Structure 1
């Protein structure tokens, strides 16, 4: 399955099919955040009656359980299925996402919903990781990062369209409706992948034991650290955009979704630009992206009191962070040598660790009384730490290259 035996139209349809699934993943991961009050009131009525904040906080466990599923499922599933044909694996993953999100729609109690969210997180990393490998093979040498970015576009577009729309529908007709829509999207992705992603041969030698050799490669650990720490700077701000808009900039609540949509637009554009730049010069894109992330997060921190500046630099944050997304993914594929299935999936474990780390540290500085702008400065520190790790990785790699390379 290479660019040599696929027409441009066939390759586009294959990538679109994968992107539909990534759109569903973006929606199922983030739509729950806007529906926490609805879920808490519906599934935890006794706690809601006593104190609504406690019910919302407990409903927030659903976000953590999904992230835990991603962290656990990415390497284990990717390693277990590495020997099988990737087209069949992608069909199976899309079908699993259909079933687990349908379970969220049907689950009668909070405990069942919690279990379904954990299960829905399990295929997340493997879908993106193996999907990235399929996309890279479909487009061929010199265009791998563009293929990765194309698949990730579904995730970024979900933040612009799917999450706001799903949140609105869930608020109007019941939170379960959002997950019914998500399940339908994954069902469509299953059918499209079966129709348009080309057949390929598996590799029986790629056993779990063989794939686990990826953890012996130092450069893989450094690339994962860049994602978990450097990208954590983005999540430090993303997690606390709402209070920045309302409490710092003094804007009404209706301005929050507008600012979030602007971030999503920035992410979508940045993802496509990042795919192009990474194919041109991956190392410079990685370093430049991390420097850029630190700069725009500092600008968020310095100008958050003005809503126009906050909106502008939140857009820029989304743009720069998504330039990094396909870049880090492709970097992992480069340094993993022959162990790409687990490595590609591990990127999403790392990003979810970054999600937790950024949100946690941002919450710490807020709790310490430093204000809602403080997470932006936490983000600057994390981005610079990621830059230091990336620089160490590239310097080490350069020293080990043969002379003249």
Structure 2
């Protein structure tokens, strides 16, 4: 795998830290800017909405630029808005920086996926995808707890400064390591990529990715109140529990990177039902600490193994639309990351208990399995490369 792909993963780590760290900084932001906790919480929602809306829009915009210029433009924008966020005393300005940061992050991910796939060998799209998503999982393991610690010791602004500083080596690395290339005419490129996005198989994988990611973040969002409430684990153990989920996530993208290019369908057929069953088992056993701790790791592993493989399949199914496919994949993941916690919150608000998000996660993954089964039964034609590789592998 080219070293430049790992450098892109470093940038994804810094941006992922910014996306997730806010959950631990909201109380400090609310006190400092003299706003309510719900108002401070809108900073997270603003980022999520910006990711959903911005992914396809920024992907189209980036078609006018070379990939290196697009990556640098998005990274520099992300760095600047974090500096502004660290300096501002206005809630409105901070809210605006989160929206702009989300747009830049969405655009970067779309172009980074296309760039990683172009740099990697033609049969290693799954490995390239796993490297990028590995940056997100490392953000969960190290970046998010680190941001929370900085917020406790030096205030929430220090976490924003830390993200800005972490982006500097990523910017230098992209400048030196990502090949420069002249962009083609944006209009024809956009029309050509949009035509390639019409493939039914691609649309199915986008839906599956959104549903599975919805299940993942439905439970992850409410994991702390579940474990401290129903399970009875002390709040002091929560950083470790969140890190354990992050370690499982990293294990999942690692497994996907090794398997997704050769036997993606086998991985999905085995791990997909196991993921749905695992959420249901978690809901049934959440009152006992030992199975809960085990399932935090196992479900993190399965969630990201399945999710990463689905995204790699999106890129295989859209070889004629690498940039827009990355943008729509990013949007699909963030639709799921927004929809899942919303549904989980509805069930808790309806009085169904802290375990109800686990059942919602199980149902979302079950919906993905049903969708996949129906799509397979309909017998859509497919020329996706990894499935062709699956066939001889199965025959061995």
TM-score normalized by the length of structure 1: 0.90
1:79 aligns with 2:60: yes
Q: 2:276 aligns with which of 286, 291, 294?
A: 294
Q: Flag the 1:219–1:41 CA change in 2: closer, same or farther, 3 A.
A: same
The residue number in structure 2 matching 1:374 is 356
Following TM superposition, by how much is the alpha carbon of 1:137 offset from its aligned partner in structure 2, in angstroms? 2.1
Contact 1:87 1:198 in 2 (8 A): yes
1:18 aligns with 2:5: no
Taking the aligned partners of 1:117 and 1:287, their CA distance within structure 2 comes to: 38
Taking the aligned partners of 1:25 and 1:328, their CA distance within structure 2 comes to: 22
Q: Flag the 1:92–1:173 CA change in 2: closer, same or farther, 3 A.
A: same
How many equivalent residue pairs?
385
Contact 2:248 2:300 in 1 (8 A): yes
Q: 1:59 aligns with which of 26, 35, 40?
A: 40
Map 1:139-218; keep pairs closer than 5 Å: 139-204=120-185, 206-214=188-196, 216-218=198-200
Taking the aligned partners of 1:25 and 1:244, their CA distance within structure 2 comes to: 27
Following TM superposition, by how much is the alpha carbon of 1:78 offset from its aligned partner in structure 2, in angstroms? 0.6
1:338 aligns with 2:320: yes
Contact 2:212 2:303 in 1 (8 A): no
Moved >6 Å (runs of 4+): none
1:111 aligns with 2:92: yes
Taking the aligned partners of 2:233 and 2:176, their CA distance within structure 1 comes to: 47
Following TM superposition, by how much is the alpha carbon of 1:399 offset from its aligned partner in structure 2, in angstroms? 4.7
Contact 2:197 2:321 in 1 (8 A): no
Q: Flag the 1:214–1:170 CA change in 2: closer, same or farther, 3 A.
A: farther
Following TM superposition, by how much is the alpha carbon of 1:395 offset from its aligned partner in structure 2, in angstroms? 4.4
Contact 1:99 1:183 in 2 (8 A): yes
Give ranges in structure 2 of 5+ residues lacking alignment: 392-396
1:277 aligns with 2:259: yes
Contact 2:218 2:343 in 1 (8 A): yes
Q: Flag the 1:196–1:255 CA change in 2: closer, same or farther, 3 A.
A: same
The residue number in structure 1 matching 2:234 is 252
Contact 1:79 1:211 in 2 (8 A): no
Following TM superposition, by how much is the alpha carbon of 1:87 offset from its aligned partner in structure 2, in angstroms? 2.0
Q: Flag the 1:254–1:400 CA change in 2: closer, same or farther, 3 A.
A: closer
1:81-128 alpha-carbon deviations (Å, 9 max, x no partner):
124321222122211211122221122211110000011000222222
Contact 1:79 1:207 in 2 (8 A): no
Following TM superposition, by how much is the alpha carbon of 1:396 offset from its aligned partner in structure 2, in angstroms? 4.3
The residue number in structure 2 matching 1:219 is 201
The residue number in structure 1 matching 2:24 is 34
Q: 1:324 aligns with which of 262, 281, 306?
A: 306
Taking the aligned partners of 1:19 and 1:119, their CA distance within structure 2 comes to: 21
Taking the aligned partners of 2:177 and 2:109, their CA distance within structure 1 comes to: 17
Q: 1:127 aligns with which of 102, 105, 108?
A: 108
Taking the aligned partners of 1:156 and 1:300, their CA distance within structure 2 comes to: 21
Q: Flag the 1:394–1:90 CA change in 2: closer, same or farther, 3 A.
A: farther
The residue number in structure 1 matching 2:78 is 97
Contact 2:212 2:307 in 1 (8 A): no
Taking the aligned partners of 1:271 and 1:97, their CA distance within structure 2 comes to: 25
Contact 2:113 2:326 in 1 (8 A): yes
What is the root-mean-square deviation of aligned Cα atoms in Å? 2.0
Contact 1:71 1:348 in 2 (8 A): yes
Q: 1:305 aligns with which of 287, 290, 293?
A: 287
Q: Flag the 1:123–1:284 CA change in 2: closer, same or farther, 3 A.
A: farther
Q: 2:246 aligns with which of 241, 258, 264?
A: 264
Taking the aligned partners of 1:282 and 1:113, their CA distance within structure 2 comes to: 42
Aligned-partner SS, 1:199: coil
Q: Flag the 1:270–1:366 CA change in 2: closer, same or farther, 3 A.
A: same
Contact 1:234 1:379 in 2 (8 A): yes
The residue number in structure 1 matching 2:394 is none
